[in-house]
Structure 1
Amino acid sequence: MLTHIIERILQALFVMLVMSALVFVGVYAIGNPIDVLIGPDVTQEIRQQTIAYYGLDRPLWEQYFTFLGRVLHGDFGRSFVFGMPVLELILSRLPATLELTLTAVIGAAAIGVPAGIYAGYKPDSFLSKLIMAISILGFSVPTFWIGLVLIIAFAVELQWLPAGGRGDTASLFGVQWSFLTLNGWTHLLLPALNLAFFKLALMTRLARAGTREVMLTDTVKFARAAGLSEWTVLRRHVLRLIAIPIVTVFGLEFASTLAFAVVTETIFSWPGIGKLIIDSITSLDRPVMVAYLMLVAFVFITINFLVDLTYVALDPRLRKGRA
């Protein structure tokens, strides 16, 4: 088990190194941020001084190794636009995206998994058919369209919830969170619902498919023959057997939602890292773009690593194979 963990950590470090090179070259080889940072009426001397100040006059490979040396010391550079350390800027926006993502994915799993299990357990009931119809709608409708409908319905027509912003926040461990205040929850609800709709459909269909498959296995037949109640069968056997694919999807969806909540954050003016990267792309703020993409790679690698460890915890056969 320890050997497996060490191997995964070494693989993760290698992947991060490769990703850093690809991301840096891909971002720094495109466009010229100087045209955005300074006006067209400045003198050529000031233009050259600005280029030299940001190190853009050096070869690309030299810029990369300079960047890599700074990263090893926890320095991702300074934002061209905000004039502050990139890591500090991203970390200031991360809590907003993190609480939005957790609310959406946990809510989708809490509703979608039981709904999917019920739909798989009683596939011919009216409620099961209704659940599957809603899940198809979740796959079919674009996220931005759902967001606009939610804003029109609940913010414009009914005026129950605000259309955008983060609302009031409260401090916990030195970080500002919206979910700690009632006003913050009113601002959080619509973007979280918009973000959760596709995840809800995915979790529902996955749980239903797994339940339908498990209900036909000998394990369930023997459990019923032993006189166990249906609730016990569902809880002890069905849920345990479908747990691994659900954990996999939960981890990957959490990572992808955390990394790519751009559309939702833009529609609802949610001040997270998704909106930050859109603004950075518009202004060619290269340090922020590189740091964001590396953060995305790190999140996916970390989530995959944790999911792999969860496999071992859920399946005793894997523990024996890696002992």
Structure 2
Amino acid sequence: MTAFLLRRLAQSAVVLLAMSMLVFAGVYLVGNPVDILLSPDATQAERAATIAALGLDRPLWTQYARFLLDALHGDLGRSFVHARPAIGLILERLPATLELAVAALLIAVALGIPLGLWAGLRPKSLAGRAIVTGSILGFSLPTFWVGLMMIMLFSVRLGWLPGSGRGETVSVLGVPLSILTADGWKHLAMPAFNLALFKLALVVRLTRAGTLEALGQDYIRCARAKGLTPARIVGVHVLGNILVPIVTVVGLEFGGLVAFSIVTETVFAWPGMGKLIIDSINLLDRPVIVAYLLVVVTLFVLINLVVDVLYVLLDPRVRLGGEET
């Protein structure tokens, strides 16, 4: 296990280095933030002074070398717009995004696995077919449209839930959390379900397919021949054997929830990283864009590592590091 973790950490460092090069080059070759930061009436001397102050007058490779050196010390640059460390701006918004992503993931798993099991155990029933149809709609409906319809129905027409914002928060060890207040839950409900909709459909389809495949295996027939109860067959033998692919997909999809919550956060004015990156792109705030992308890449790397370790915990037949079973 130790050798595997060390090897994966080394691979992760290489991935982060490669991604930092791609992200830095891609972002810094697009547009000129000086054109946005300064008014059209600015003199040439003012433009030159601003370019020099932002370090944009140096060659690209020199800027990247400086960025890499600072990144090793935890400094991912200063925001052009806010004049603050970019990583600080990201970390301020990170709790809100993680809160939304975790809530969406829990909704997707808590509803998706039981619904997928039901659809797999009774594929020809009316309920099973309705679940499959609903999962197709979950894949097909645009996230922004669903979000707007939810606001129109539950916020404007019925007045049950607030349509924007994060609501009241409580500070825990300096981290503001809205899930600890009733008002926070009201603000979280719609964006969390909206973000979870696509993942919910994915979990339903994956669970249903795994259940149908497992029911045709010999070990299920053997379990039935032994006289095991249907609940034990489903809970131990079926669910236990389909959890590994589900954990794999759910783990990777959690990274997607964090990275691609931009649309949901924009629709519901949720103060997370997604809204920050949209504002930064509009203003060509390069350090914030680079910091955001590197934080997302780091999250994906860590999630992949956690998923690999969970393989062994869920299925002892899986061995890390290429060991033979």
TM bracket, shorter-chain basis: over 0.9
**Hey, what's the Cα distance between the residues in 1 that align with 2:255 and 2:206?**
18
1:15 aligns with 2:15: yes
**Hey, what's the Cα distance between the residues in 2 that align with 1:119 and 1:172?**
41
Local SS of the residue matching 2:104: helix
Q: How does 1:48-197 map to 2 (within 5 A)?
A: 48-197=48-197
What amino acid sits opposite 2:21 in the alignment? A
Local SS of the residue matching 1:242: helix
Unpaired runs of at least 5, structure 1 = none
Q: Which structure 1 residue ranges, 4+ long, deviate > 4 Å from structure 2?
A: none
Partner of 1:317: 317
The offset of 1:318, in angstroms, is 2.0
**Hey, what's the Cα distance between the residues in 2 that align with 1:42 and 1:72?**
36
Partner of 1:263: 263
**Hey, what's the Cα distance between the residues in 2 that align with 1:322 and 1:168?**
50
**Hey, what's the Cα distance between the residues in 2 that align with 1:8 and 1:211?**
32
Q: How does 1:216-255 map to 2 (within 5 A)?
A: 216-255=216-255
CA contact (8 A) 1:76 1:85 kept: yes
**Hey, what's the Cα distance between the residues in 1 that align with 2:237 and 2:193?**
31
- CA deviations 1:75-102 (Å, max 9, x no partner) are 0111111111111110000111100000
Local SS of the residue matching 2:318: helix
**Hey, what's the Cα distance between the residues in 1 that align with 2:271 and 2:318?**
42
Superposition CA RMSD, Å? 1.1
Deviates more, 1:150-159 or 1:43-52: 43-52
Give the aligned length. 323
What amino acid sits opposite 2:53 in the alignment? Y
Local SS of the residue matching 1:171: strand
Unpaired runs of at least 5, structure 2 = none
Normalised by the length of structure 1, the TM-score is 0.98
**Hey, what's the Cα distance between the residues in 2 that align with 1:201 and 1:231?**
24
The offset of 1:109, in angstroms, is 0.5
Q: How does 1:273-288 map to 2 (within 5 A)?
A: 273-288=273-288
**Hey, what's the Cα distance between the residues in 1 that align with 2:107 and 2:173?**
24
Identity %: 55
The offset of 1:319, in angstroms, is 3.0
Normalised by the length of structure 2, the TM-score is 0.97
**Hey, what's the Cα distance between the residues in 2 that align with 1:282 and 1:112?**
36
Local SS of the residue matching 1:224: helix
The offset of 1:7, in angstroms, is 1.4
CA contact (8 A) 1:266 1:275 kept: yes
What amino acid sits opposite 1:285 in the alignment? D
**Hey, what's the Cα distance between the residues in 2 that align with 1:194 and 1:316?**
36
Local SS of the residue matching 2:307: helix
What amino acid sits opposite 2:139 in the alignment? F
